[in-house]
A and B are shown apart, each in its own frame.
Chain A
Amino acid sequence: MTTTDHSQATADAAHTDGAVIPEGSRGERFTSFDVDAFEQPTPRDEDYRFSALRDLAPVLDQADAPVDGAEYDVQAPEGVSTGTLAIGEAPRGTVLVPEDRIAAIASAGTAEALHVKVPADAQVTEPIRVAITGKAASRSHIVIETGTHAEATVILEHRGTGAHAGNVEVIVGDGSQLEIVSLQQWDDDAVHGGTHHARVGRDATYKHVAVSLGGKAVRLAVTAEYGGTGGSAELLGLYYSDSGQHLEHRTFIDHNAPKCHSNVAYKGALAGKTARSVWIGDVLIRAAAEGTDTYELNRNLVLTDGARADSVPNLEIETGEIEGAGHASATGRFDDEQMFYLRSRGISEEKARKLVVRGFFADLIQQIGVPEVEAGLMREIDLELEHFEEEYAEETE
């Protein structure tokens, strides 16, 4: 088990884990809508050195881009308006300016972006659903906007096959509450890349939940900045990587305003000889962001030999006048002592493994707060485990 826990990190003890020294500040990254402004990445690039570059090729290649975007199915409860936004049509492009080639491709490849708008003061109790079905190559850009003091939940479902480059641009209105759940339930051969970026308004509450279970390669950048003081951003993630899967999540919280809060918690399980996961968690507390309170955590549970989890928390602090800043990262092997304890009470190996894995994810799932998603996830995890038991039985025969 490897662990880092620097809950007491302060301005003069700011540091970087995992021997990764970023070039310059995370906040000074190049941005552009022009795909060609981003070079084709190589494994030597810091931002791609943990990535499944070969698998991601179709979402890094502009030539493959279709003109017809992606197939959506949108279910919007009453009071929610949906429409489209052309390239350059505000608010599209006001919050999400691509930071990497995949995001630029997703943006440039989507002529008409889906625009979901929750008007001011609306309390939408029923989740808004956007189902995206992959095809050979698809691109999407979705703009989700809440008006002042609105409350809403959006569930994005990704299913099917193919290569999908998709962005989600989120404008969380002042004092509003928005939760986005992005479910990656792709077929085994699908490839998915993109950026989900939010600007969290004054006193607004934003929660983003990334659930990556399917797909051959997934590379999601989930990022947030603030549009005013008092904002709160919570980025939660759950992934389960089997053999042949490479699931990568790159979170970034840009504390660019005072008195804002953020919490990042990603947990993953890996089962199978070639299972891979990557979590890069960047937090930047700018000089202006006095009174910031932030914590980020990544935990990985490695069920079998051969699986590999990379976990790199980065905390950059430009002011000492903060409430708190901490991070924790731990990657542990499946605990034989836990198994022995449970089995010594008569619980079978399979059932014990299920208890431990369910238990590992339980606190995270409880934080999602969308009952149907929570219940569905426990079922999905059970299915992943059943699949694992079958493979495991074959391997040990």
Chain B
Amino acid sequence: MAAGVIWSSIGTMALIGLVLGLGLTYASRRLAVERDPRVDQIEQLLPGANCGACGYAGCRQMAEEMAAGRAPAAACVAGGSATAAAIAEILGVEAGEVQERVAVLLCGGGAREASRRSRYLGVQDCLAAQLVAGGPKACAYGCLGYGTCVRACPFGAIRLNDDALPEIDRHKCTGCGKCAEACPRHLIVLADRASQVFVACSSQARGAEVRKVCTVGCIGCQLCVRECPQGAITVENNLARIDQERCTRCGSCLSRCPTHCLVAVTELTPCQPAEGVVDWKQAAQSGG
């Protein structure tokens, strides 16, 4: 009797286990979620920085959306045209053009050019410095130089130079815009990679005030406005602005600028600078 109970117990549990096991095996086969193999392929091609410039949570999510056909093959801003072409090949669609952008710092007033009104000994971060009575710089618009943008860059494209100004490596910069978001003074803008002439100043103060605090600030003198053959430059709020659509990168404005705040960001190899563009440092040396 006792032996019978033991055997029937073992038998019942074995039966239940067998049925459940087989059922689950069958279910896992039947309900296996088919993963799109292209998602992994696309993800391999992406920069993998999860920078979010595409508008999705990360590279993986964007790859899923691309494979599902809900995002264009050119959605990855950071990857650029080459990546878009490779992804388009996987997906079998037209690549489309990625408008390649690059971050540009609109301030030239580093430690040597711009004066300070106080010493700041707090946390070495622009956001923190900005909180303490607007930072130590005399210019309320200029770069604070504590490298918040450097730390924000997921691609290591920015470094602080010896003038305490961020230098953006155009070859590493992918135009994701993290630095532009991070800068408390909004001094970094994303520009079309083709555009090369910029006003390296964001000060909207009057000319006399700018002269007091910075040697390379835009004083709104209008000389460049008159010089530009395309009429691409205007002065608003004491600050020159360049219409990049109309700018032909001729470089004639550069030598006219009395404070050398008009700069040409030249491309190094493999892209050759447009003809007639002068390296702004050379122009500054020869002109002054």
State whether these chains interact: no
Report which B residues bind A (CB closer than 8 A).
Answer: none
